A and B are shown apart, each in its own frame.
Chain A
Amino acid sequence: EPEVTQTPSHQVTQMGQEVILRCVPISNHLYFYWYRQILGQKVEFLVSFYNNEISEKSEIFDDQFSVERPDGSNFTLKIRSTKLEDSAMYFCASSPSGGPQETQYFGPGTRLLVL
């Protein structure tokens, strides 16, 4: 069964450093998403992406964040200058279409720790 994959599974970085989290969505899906979960808190939406542009973003997704689909398979989340509060589990998801009833398929997550 096709699945969303994410790399790395864990990342430790120093405050102020740039990190890139990578995701490979399911191959025939058209919509891509990033969510994050700070330890002990809710899973929060960051951004959705379709047709090579951002379709929706949350207040969390400020200028420090960017997303890119550099080739036909990868979908990346870049945090330009990490802060301590960026420490969280980051989930990538994809869906075949953007319809509200559509299932979003999630990857296993990347646990980011900012020191």
Chain B
Amino acid sequence: AQSVTQLGSHVSVSEGALVLLRCNYSSSVPPYLFWYVQYPNQGLQLLLKYTSAATLVKGINGFEAEFKKSETSFHLTKPSAHMSDAAEYFCAVRAGGSNYNLTFGKGTLLTVNP
């Protein structure tokens, strides 16, 4: 079975500062990893995904994440936060094979201060 742990339910940064949202996973098979973002009153939108092609994955809105197998991590970063980045961020894992479902973390609420 797979699982995801997101460290920090709430992260607050200043505009222009580095954003780092942490995600650790557990999976008995090579995982597929996803970051989704949820803006208020909207659905979950894919930011980026790791599918074993490259360990550093670039996504939309300037976000990127690095898959580190030795650390079982897939942390999300952005060099410079913008006010529009304020949202809830979810890390998710999918084990592959005939397992269709995404297993999500609890989410991290990012606030960006002016």
Contact = CB atoms under 8 A, between A and B. Distances in A.
Interface residues of A, number: 27
A48 B100 contact: yes
A44 B104 CA distance: 7
A108 B41 contact: yes
Interface stretch (A14-22, A65-73, A78-86, A96-104): A96-104
B90 to A, nearest CB: 6
Contacts of A6: 43
B90 A58 contact: no
Interface residues of B, number: 27
B32 A48 contact: no
B42 A56 contact: no
Nearest to A9: B41
Interface in A1-57: 3-4, 6, 31, 33, 35, 41-45, 48, 55-56
Given A42-B105, A48-B100, A56-B101, A101 B32 contact: yes
Contacts of B104: 35, 42-44
A75 interface: no
> Which of B51, B97, B99, B100 has the most CB atoms of chain A within a 10 A radius of its CB?
B100
The 4 nearest A-B residue pairs measured at CB: A45-B101, A100-B96, A106-B44, A101-B51
21 contacts: A3-B43, A4-B43, A6-B43, A41-B106, A42-B106, A43-B102, A43-B107, A45-B103, A48-B100, A55-B100, A56-B99, A56-B101, A91-B44, A98-B100, A100-B94, A100-B95, A100-B99, A103-B34, A106-B36, A108-B42, A109-B43
